[in-house]
Amino acid sequence: MRTAVALALIVLGSVVFHLLSPWWWTPIASNWAYIDDTILITFWITGVVFAAVVLFMAYCVFRFRHREGSRAAYQPESTRLEWWLSIGTGIGVAAMLAPGLVVWHQFVTVPDDAVTVEVVGQQWQWSYRLPGADGRLGASHVAYVSPDNPLGIDPKDPHGQDDVIVQGEPLHLELGKPVKILLRSLDVVHDFYVPEFRAKMDMIPGTVTYYWFTPTRVGTFEVLCAELCGTGHSHMRGSVVVELESEHRTWLLQQKSFAQLRAPVRADAGN
Ligand SMILES: [Cu+2]
């Protein structure tokens, strides 16, 4: 009896904890409400199954408790029950996976009018690169990384000269403008994560991963690294400012291009 009550209390406690929990999602600030929907579908399916299974256990523990003289019946197989369990489990798993496939397709299908922003992770800081007037990012490779070329931009690629480089400062994005995020890492695996955007992806050294989103709310949002990347992982923070188009243009004009950052170095070399 005590075990049955304890099991029922686990279910009750889980529901109460869910209702009273202070750890709710941050208010969303991007177009990816779909991500919340898929999490909610999984939450409800697994939640209902959890409650049903544990309550069924409580019922069985109580109903079939030990009584003097009663003996358990032995039923090694039940084809009917196995069919029901297989079909029910199959539907539940499909209901959790199928929406994810649809959302994933949208997540990596970038709209034509998206601006490209590159995020570069390294132990333990974030850097950003935005296209200059030509609207294109120059080629890059870790082999080009040097003190005056921290992101490894190909110095011979003309498209890279006007690339805007932001280091140790917040990234600014335009409200309502779709942005394609290119993700690079200079050392180990990192993960660019802004909880309010509901979008994140690992940054794998040696390759470029990407996704897109549209910022839908003005404000300053915290960037976290969502992949354990060494002793400084927890300090790998940054921020993203979402602002109106006019403010964003002003900010962009104040940033330094790759060519400007290298200019003083070249001047020294000439002396
Ligand atoms: Cu990291």
Query: Which tokens is 172 given?
Result: 């600014």
Residues 55 and 150 in one domain: no
Residue 86 domain-assigned (yes or no)? yes
Residues 181 and 238 in one domain: yes
Q: What is the pLDDT of residue 270?
A: 46
pLDDT, tens only, 17-58: 988 888 878 889 999 999 888 888 888 889 999 999 999 999
* pLDDT confidence band for 148 (50 / 70 / 90): confident
For tokens 């002396």, what's the residue? 271
Q: What is the pLDDT of residue 203?
A: 92
Residue 119 domain-assigned (yes or no)? yes
Q: What is the pLDDT of residue 267?
A: 52
**CA 228 / ligand 1 centre spacing (Å):** 6
Q: What is the pLDDT of residue 39?
A: 87
Q: What is the pLDDT of residue 265?
A: 56
Residue 71 domain-assigned (yes or no)? no
Q: What's the whole-number mean pLDDT along residues 129-145?
A: 85
**CA 235 / ligand 1 centre spacing (Å):** 9
**CA 62 / ligand 1 centre spacing (Å):** 50
Q: How many domains does the chain have?
A: 2
Q: Is residue 145 predicted with pLDDT exceeding 80?
A: yes
* 150: containing domain: 115-270
How high does pLDDT run on average in the chain?
88
Q: To the nearest whole percent, how much of the chain has pLDDT over 90?
A: 47
Q: What is the pLDDT of residue 181?
A: 94
**CA 202 / ligand 1 centre spacing (Å):** 9
* pLDDT confidence band for 2 (50 / 70 / 90): confident
Q: What is the pLDDT of residue 76?
A: 87
pLDDT, tens only, 191-229: 999 999 998 899 999 899 999 999 999 999 999 999 999
Q: What's the whole-number mean pLDDT along residues 161-179?
A: 90
pLDDT, tens only, 222-244: 999 999 998 989 989 999 999 99
Contact 161, 132 (CB under 8 A): yes
**CA 238 / ligand 1 centre spacing (Å):** 11
Nearest CA to 129 out of 71, 180, 69, 76 is that of: 180
**CA 120 / ligand 1 centre spacing (Å):** 10
**CA 231 / ligand 1 centre spacing (Å):** 10
**CA 30 / ligand 1 centre spacing (Å):** 23
Q: Is residue 268 predicted with pLDDT exceeding 80?
A: no
Q: What's the whole-number mean pLDDT along residues 146-158?
A: 83
Residues 190 and 249 in one domain: yes
Residues 86 and 164 in one domain: no
Q: What is the pLDDT of residue 149?
A: 85
Measured distance CA(82)–CA(15) in Å, rounded: 29
Q: What's the whole-number mean pLDDT along residues 152-156?
A: 84
Contact 226, 200 (CB under 8 A): yes
Residues 154 and 199 in one domain: yes
Q: Which of 73-87, 139-153, 251-265 has the highest mean pLDDT?
A: 73-87
CATH number at residue 140: 2.60.40.420
Measured distance CA(173)–CA(245) in Å, rounded: 9
Residues 142 and 99 in one domain: no
* pLDDT confidence band for 271 (50 / 70 / 90): very low
Residues 98 and 127 in one domain: no
**CA 203 / ligand 1 centre spacing (Å):** 9
Contact 198, 36 (CB under 8 A): yes
Q: Is residue 66 predicted with pLDDT exceeding 60?
A: yes
Residues 100 and 131 in one domain: no
* pLDDT confidence band for 150 (50 / 70 / 90): confident
**CA 27 / ligand 1 centre spacing (Å):** 24
Residues 195 and 231 in one domain: yes
Residues 92 and 149 in one domain: no
Residues 224 and 127 in one domain: yes
